[in-house]
Every structure is written in C-alpha cells, then in structure tokens.
Amino acid sequence: MRHGKRTSGDLIDAIVDNMRQNLEELKYATLAPSRYTVYLSSAEHARIEGIIPRLQAEATRALDEELARINRPRLLRGLARRMTQLAGGRRPPLENAGPRWHVEFLPDTDGDLADEGDIVVHSDLVLAPDLELGVGERTRRITTTRQGDTSSTSSRMISQSGSSSAVALVHARLSYRDNLGDHAFDVVADQATIGRGGHAHPVDVRVSTTEDVSREHARIRRDGVTGQFYLIDLSTLGTTLNGRHVPRGVEERGGVKRENGAETALPARARIGLAETVFLDFEQVER
C-alpha cells in the first residue's frame, strides 16, 4: 500500500477524474460541475499552502483542457463516433455548468485523512428544482476518496428549500440527543443516512458521539410508491430497532464494503439505536 504525500499533479488529476464522474447530459449540452472542494491532511495542506493559488490556476487549466479533449474529434475514434451518430446516441458537447471553475483546497478537520497522501474531492453539480416537493435547488455531490492505492466514489443528492411559499413535504421526523444536546431532523427525501459523518463520509443526520458509532452507521429509506420506511444497518457495532438488532446491510470482501440489500421495515413509530450509544426516536408523519 502506498503511503506518503502525493505530488501536486496527483491532486489536479484527482479533480479532473472526479469531474468525469459527475456529468449531466441534456439535449444540447453535457454539463460538468463548476465547483470542487479538495480536503487534504493537515500536514499536506500546510506543505502546499504557499502554492494554493498556483494549484487553483493549474486545476482550472486542466479542467479546461479536459473539456477540450473530450469535445475534440479524433481520427482514431472517427469510425466509432460516426456509428454512434447514426444510432442517435452521440453525447452533446461538454460544458462548464457555471460561468467559471471554482476549486478550493482545505485541511481535514475531522480526522478522516490519517496519511499525508489521503485526499477527498467533492464536486457539486446544481440540478433543476423539484417544484412538486417544494425543493428549490438540488445539488448532486460526487465524493472521491483516495487512501493509499485504493479509491472509492459515492454520490449524494443535497436538497435546499425553495421560496418561502414552497414548503418541503415532511415524511417523518427523527429526534435524538447526543454530546451536543437535543436535535430534531425532518425527513423530506426518500433516504437519510445517519452517523458521525466526516469529509469522506457525508451524512444527512450527523451525531456527535464516541467512535462506537460508525461514520456512516445507518440509513433510512422510503419507498416512494408505498410510503413504507426501511432501516439499513451500515455499521460495525450494530443497529437496533426497538431494542432488537437488525440484520447487517453491508458485507466486506477483500477490504471493500458493499451493501447486500438487507433492510428492515420501520413501523410508524420506532426507537433506533446506534451501537447502543445514541438513540433516535422515529415518527412517521400522518397525512
């Protein structure tokens, strides 16, 4: 396994690679996210702090060059391109979704990045509002985590409420107490991930507690057709429903963690335990 700092060129390559994974195809254009946030270990951030403006300039140049490369016809791809066009499947030209690129380099404050070479890259692509749900702005966030020789990618939809006249539809509520006090969370999306969170592990419900609770500990999923809620255990030390452990929803093979589809139906009212450390009261909102 590789350890130690990466070159500055590696950081720029990671940004470009992340961009390729967060594209949205429209009829006449394919949009690339304009905003990127790169988290580094505190030591690595301190090392490059003096050249961050130069890194930002080179990252935006690399993004421009990648857009041009993807959009530029190549002789070696000519036949395949013509066949794709005939089939009506040619991808529209790639464009920056915003007026300019925005790249930010920040130090990790959550302790996710133990090795100097570990990095996390977020890209945010703003999508159309969902007026039916009263959501004004929806952003698709793609997170790429590189630790040693391993790399993982996750996707998350972030919704923000729209105008004051539009009210998001609340499906359920969670209430809980952690080290920071009492909290309440309205479930307005069809899934909500719960845990300690972190730069590499974005969650919807972030609890402040001991490491017994995993970064991504559990997920609540709502079936959009039936309205039924389900609980999925993503943790190391287990999740309980009304005092009973639910089946683990992830399996680890070869050092890679994958969900196995196991989930447990949630009653209209329930008590969810995270490693028997933090307890959340779940209540479905009646219509």
Residues 112 and 210 in one domain: no
Instruction: Tell me: do 271 and 129 sit in the same domain.
Output: no
Cα separation, 63 vs 67, whole angstroms: 6
Q: How deeply is 277 buried, as exposed, middle or buried, from its count of CB atoms within 10 A (0-12, 13-18, 19+)? A: middle
Q: Do residues 134 and 243 both lie within one domain?
A: no
- Cβ 277 vs Cβ 209: under 8 Å: yes
Greatest C-alpha distance within the chain:
64
Residue 261 in any domain: the answer is yes
pLDDT in tens, 150-188: 788 888 777 654 444 445 688 999 999 999 999 999 998
Q: What is the mean pLDDT of residues 14-19?
A: 95
Whether 268 and 284 have beta carbons less than 8 Å apart is answered as: yes
Residue 254: which region, alpha, beta or left (left: phi > 0; alpha: psi -120 to 50)? left
Most confident by average pLDDT, 74-78, 103-107, 113-117, 258-262: 103-107
113-139 burial code (b ≥16 CB/10 A, e <16)? bebbbbbbbbbbbbeebbeebbbeebb
Domain limit, last residue, from 139, 161, 183: 161
Query: Does residue 4 carry a pLDDT above 80?
Result: no
pLDDT above 80 for 106: yes
Same domain, 185 and 129: no
| Residues of the domain holding 12 | 8-161
Nearby residues of 200 by Cβ (< 8 Å), 6 or more positions away: 39, 110, 112, 113, 120, 143, 145, 215
Instruction: Find the mean pLDDT for residues 267-275.
Output: 96
Residue 18 carries which side chain, given as an amino acid letter? N
* Residues 222 and 180 grouped into a single domain: yes
What does the pLDDT look like over 19-38, one tens digit per residue? Answer: 999 999 988 999 999 999 99
Q: Is residue 119's pLDDT more than 50?
A: yes
Residues 182 and 157 placed together within one structural domain of the fold:
no
Are the CB atoms for 143 and 112 separated by under 8 Å?
Answer: no
Q: What is the CATH number of the domain that holds 235?
A: 2.60.200.20
Mean pLDDT of all residues in the chain?
A: 85
> Is the residue at 3 inside a domain?
no
Considering the domain boundaries, does residue 190 fall inside one? yes
Q: Are 24 and 152 contained in the same domain? A: yes
Q: What is the reported pLDDT for 116?
A: 79
Whether pLDDT at 208 is above 70: yes
Cα(168)–Cα(235) distance, integer angstroms: 30
Verify that 136 and 177 share a domain, yes or no: no
Look at residue 1 and tell me if it is in a domain: no
Structurally, how many domains does the chain consist of?
2
Instruction: Write down which residue in 118, 134, 161 finishes a domain.
Output: 161
| Cβ atoms of 138 and 158 closer than 8 Å | yes
Looking up residue 110, the CATH number of its domain turns out to be 3.30.2320
Claim to verify: residue 26 and residue 115 sit in the same structural domain:
yes
Instruction: Give every CB contact of residue 286 below 8 A, 6+ residues apart in sequence.
Output: 268
In the three-class reduction of DSSP (H, G, I as helix; E, B as strand; rest coil), residue 174 is classed as: strand
* 132 and 182 inside one domain: no
β-pairing, 191-195 vs 205-206, is parallel
**What pTM does this model have?**
0.68
The pLDDT score that the predictor gives to residue 81 is: 52
* Among candidate residues 46, 37, 45, 44, the one with its CA nearest the CA of residue 4: 44
pLDDT band at 217 (very low <50, low <70, confident <90, very high): very high
Residues 34 and 149 both lie in one domain: yes
The residue from 113, 128, 161 where one domain ends is 161
Shared domain check, 130 and 108: yes
- pLDDT tens digits, 33-53: 999 999 998 889 999 999 999
